[in-house]
Structures are given as structure tokens and as C-alpha cells.
Amino acid sequence: MSATIISGKEIAAEIRSELTERVKALKEEGLTPGLATVLVGDDPASHVYVGMKNRDAREVGFESRQITLGTDTDEDELLGVVQGLNADPEVHGILVQLPLPPQIDESRILEAVDPAKDVDGFHPVNLGRLAAGDDRGQVPCTPRGIVEMLLRSGHDPEGKHAVVVGRSTIVGRPMALLFLRKGKGGNATVTVAHSRTADLAAVTRQADILVVAVGRPGTVTGDMLEPGVVVVDVGVNRVDDPDTEKGYRLVGDVDFESARQVASAITPVPGGVGPMTRAMLLRNTVDAALARRG
Ligand SMILES: NC(=O)c1ccc[n+]([C@@H]2O[C@H](COP(=O)([O-])OP(=O)(O)OC[C@H]3O[C@@H](n4cnc5c(N)ncnc54)[C@H](OP(=O)(O)O)[C@@H]3O)[C@@H](O)[C@H]2O)c1
């Protein structure tokens, strides 16, 4: 078997074009969704990510604002910026790019963001709502994007055994909660595996849908899969590759070549989950703007 490739890149482009229409209509009604991104320090990867997020936001017609602060910014200064954005009626979504410099307590900053503007979905109020099965909260972009990608590619999780490898607060945990949710995109039977799982292959072989979010290349190989499984690879890892211009390439957590021989469908890296995450940031911002309007 050779798996169908689920192109997150194409599905995300479709979502962006739908959002562009939506935003156009909202603007005619006098509502322009506003996204503010806050970047602290000079981490090159963070600069690239924030740049892409702002470009996406402008492309779909948002008002987008980027606030860039120096590496030596202290916690109080950043808290002040967040509070200013909380109070600004033109800002519907706030994204504080992680990681933050070591002198700043990330959880204090994330908790300072107004939960209604928390388009990353990392605020404890939003995570709590997700855990409680309450649909009013914002949902973290990566798991939300994965559900959307599965639905749009014809792989509804309902009634399936979804296995999630990884239990981080930004991916694995909310992913499991979304799969568990009653309603569209949920209603799966869910298993979560992590670094202390005794026999990972025995767990992954039970999956109808397998989501891998670990951060280590080759964590899942083809021999750990049952034929026909749908594989979603969240991992983004740099591996050395002297044949490329940059000297490295990006790979996921799943060994793509062996997995594609066994799976019925698989997401590539790059071009799979990443673009969906970015598209969901836009959707979360539109949702926040609509909720604000009431
Ligand atoms: N494409 C995107 O949009 C996107 C978004 C977010 C993240 N990512 C990527 O996804 C990956 C995971 O990110 P994250 O933030 O969730 O990472 P993380 O916070 O480091 O969490 C990794 C998880 O994997 C588990 N784990 C580690 N080694 C394992 C093993 N050998 N077997 C089973 N589980 C193992 C850890 O278990 P313990 O809890 O026991 O330590 C942990 O729960 C990274 O490559 C990241 O770059 C991509």
C-alpha cells in the first residue's frame, strides 16, 4: 500500500481563501479582525514564524500589528504591553511568541492575556473549557488544525481509535481532549502515549488515527503501524543534509518512507500540520472578533 498524502498546505490555502471572503463581508459590516503579535528577543526561528503569521493575517484582510521587544525586556514591561493590548478594542487576538527569554516567566505572561483574546488557546481558562467539553473557549491552533485537516480529507475521527503520542500542553494534551469532545471532529476513543509508555509499538498498532507530537525523528516507523492507519506527523526536526543549500532539511517524528508503505493516508513534513496551525490562528482571530461583537 502507498498512502494518500494529506496536503495541509492545500487545505490551509482553501481555508485562507474562505477566510478572506469572510473578512471582506465582516469589514463591510464594520468589523475588521485585529491580530497583535508580540515578539521578545532575537531568536531567528521566532522572527520567521511571527513574520509568516503577520503576512497571513494581512493577506486575509486583518489589521495586523507586530510588537518587537529587546532580549533584555523584563517581565513587568512585557506584562504592560499585554495589558495594553487587552484593553485595545481594535485588537481581537493576541499572540505572544514562545519561547520567551529566561528572565520572563512564560506562564505569568500567558495567564495575563485576556482569555477572550487568547488566539493561541494556551490560557488556563481556555484549556479548562476544552477539558470540560465547553465549546466557548479558544482551542490551541495545532490540534484544531489537525481535526480540520482530518475532516476535510474524509477521515472523521468519530468511532475511531485515535492514539496520540506526546502529552504537551500545546499539542498532545489538547489533541486528546478534542478527539474526546462530543460533536463534529470528536467522538473518538482516545489513548495517549508518552516517554514513559512501556511498549510504544503495541499502542501505536492499535490506532486507526495516529497523531505523533514528540520532537524526535524516527519515533514511529512503518513496523509500528497497522495497515490502513491514518498518520498525522506533528514533529518538526532539523536533520543535517549537506546536499541542501541550507545544510539541513526538515523531517517529522515519523519515518515517512516506511510509514507510507503501511498507512492509508499520511501528512508530510513540511507541508502538513504546519500550514494548518497557521490557518487556525487566523480562524481563532475571526472567532474572537465575532465573539467580541456578540
Ligand atoms: N507543525 C506545527 O505546527 C507544530 C506545532 C507545535 C509543535 N510542533 C512540533 O511537534 C513536536 C512536539 O512538540 P511539543 O511542543 O508537543 O513537544 P514537547 O513539549 O517536547 O513534548 C513532547 C512529548 O513527547 C513525549 N515523548 C518524548 N520522547 C518520547 C518517546 N520516545 N516516546 C513517546 N513519547 C515521547 C514527551 O513525553 P513526556 O511528557 O513523558 O516527557 C512529551 O509528552 C516538536 O517537533 C515541535 O517542533 C509542530
Tens of pLDDT, residue by residue over 282-292, are: 999 999 999 99
Q: Which of 56, 118, 120, 208 is catalytic?
A: 120
Q: Exposure of 199 by Cβ count < 10 A (0-12 exposed, 13-18 middle, 19+ buried)? A: exposed
Question: What's residue 60's pLDDT?
Answer: 98
In the reported structure, the alpha carbon of residue 83 is separated from the centroid of ligand 1 by a whole-number distance in angstroms of 31
List residues bridging with 93 in a β-sheet.
35
Tens of pLDDT, residue by residue over 150-199, are: 999 999 999 999 999 999 999 999 999 999 999 999 999 999 999 999 99
Q: How far is CA 225 from the centre of its chain?
A: 24
Q: Which of 56, 97, 138, 233 is catalytic?
A: 97
To the query of whether residue 97 is one of the catalytic residues in this protein, the response is yes
In the reported structure, the alpha carbon of residue 151 is separated from the centroid of ligand 1 by a whole-number distance in angstroms of 23
| Pocket flag, ligand 1, residue 65 (CB < 6 Å) | no
Stretches in the chain below the pLDDT threshold 50: none
Question: What's residue 137's pLDDT?
Answer: 96
| Pocket flag, ligand 1, residue 163 (CB < 6 Å) | no
To the query of whether residue 103 is one of the catalytic residues in this protein, the response is no
pTM above 0.95, yes or no: yes
| Pocket flag, ligand 1, residue 116 (CB < 6 Å) | no
Q: Check if the beta carbon of residue 289 is closer than 8 Å to that of residue 254.
A: no
| Pocket flag, ligand 1, residue 274 (CB < 6 Å) | yes
Q: Check if the beta carbon of residue 271 is closer than 8 Å to that of residue 8.
A: yes
Q: Which long-range contacts (CB under 8 A, 24 or more apart) does 287-292 make?
A: 287/138, 288/33, 288/92, 288/93, 288/116, 288/117, 288/119, 288/138, 289/26, 289/31, 289/32, 289/33, 289/34, 289/92, 289/93, 290/26, 290/31, 291/116, 292/92, 292/116
Question: What's residue 294's pLDDT?
Answer: 85
| Pocket flag, ligand 1, residue 196 (CB < 6 Å) | yes
Question: What's residue 157's pLDDT?
Answer: 98
Which residue's C-alpha comes closest to atom 18 of ligand 1? 168
| Pocket flag, ligand 1, residue 267 (CB < 6 Å) | no
